[in-house]
A and B are shown apart, each in its own frame.
Chain A
Amino acid sequence: MDIQALKATARQVRRDIITMVAKAGAGHPGGSLSSTETMVALYFDVMNVDPKNDKDPNRDRFVLSKGHSAPALYGTLCERGYFGREEFDLFRQLHGILQGHPDIKKCPGVDASTGSLGQGISIAVGMALGAKHTGNKCHVYTIIGDGESQEGLVWEASMAAAHYHLDNLTVILDHNGMQIDGTNDEVMSLGNIRAKAEAFGYDVIEVADGNDMQQVLDALHTPACPGKPRYIIMNTLKGKGVSYMEGQVGWHGKAPNAEQAEQALKELEG
Chain B
Amino acid sequence: MEKKAIRVAYGEALVKLGENNEKVVVLDADLAAATMTNGFKKAFPGRFYDCGIAEADMVDIAAGMSTMGLIPFCSTFAVFAGRCYDQIRNGVCYPHFNVKFGFSHAGITLGEDGGSHQAIEDLALMRVLPGMTVFAPSDANEVYQCVEAASRIDGPVYIRTARLPSPIYDPRPFTVGKGNVLEDGSDCVIFTCGIILEHVLDACEILKAKGYKPALVSFHTIKPFDDQLAREYTAKCKKVFTVEEHSVIGGLGDAVASAVIGHGVEYFEKIGINDVFGQSGKPADLLKEYGLTGPQIAERIMKNL
Contact = CB atoms under 8 A, between A and B. Distances in A.
Nearest to B56: A153
Interface stretch (A130-138, A198-206, A219-227): A130-138
B65 A122 contact: no
A156 to B, nearest CB: 4
A126 B65 contact: yes
Interface string A106-146: 00000111011011001111111111011010000000000
- Interface size on B, as a range, is 20 to 34
B68 A122 contact: no
B56 A116 contact: no
Contact of A122 (B49, B52, B60, B94): B60
B61 A125 contact: yes
A171 B150 CA distance: 33
Contacts of A163: 52
A246 to B, nearest CB: 31
A113 B56 contact: no
Contact of A115 (B25, B67, B90): B90
B91 interface: yes
A217 interface: no
Contact of A131 (B51, B54, B66, B68): B68
Nearest to B51: A160
B56 A156 contact: yes
A7 to B, nearest CB: 32
Contacts of A105: 95-96
Nearest to A136: B68
B91 A123 contact: yes
B90 A126 contact: no
- Interface size on A, as a range, is 20 to 34
Contacts of A115: 90
Nearest to A123: B64
Given A105-B95, A105-B96, A111-B67, A129 B49 contact: yes
A42 interface: no
A158 to B, nearest CB: 9
A49 B36 CA distance: 41
Contacts of B54: 156, 159-160
B90 A160 contact: no
Interface in B61-81: 61-70
A260 B171 CA distance: 70
Most chain-A CB neighbours within 10 Å: which of B52, B65, B66, B86?
Answer: B65
Most chain-B CB neighbours within 10 Å: which of A103, A123, A159, A163?
Answer: A123
Contact of B70 (A104, A119, A130, A164): A130
11 contacts: A105-B96, A113-B94, A122-B57, A125-B57, A125-B61, A126-B61, A126-B62, A126-B65, A126-B67, A128-B64, A134-B69
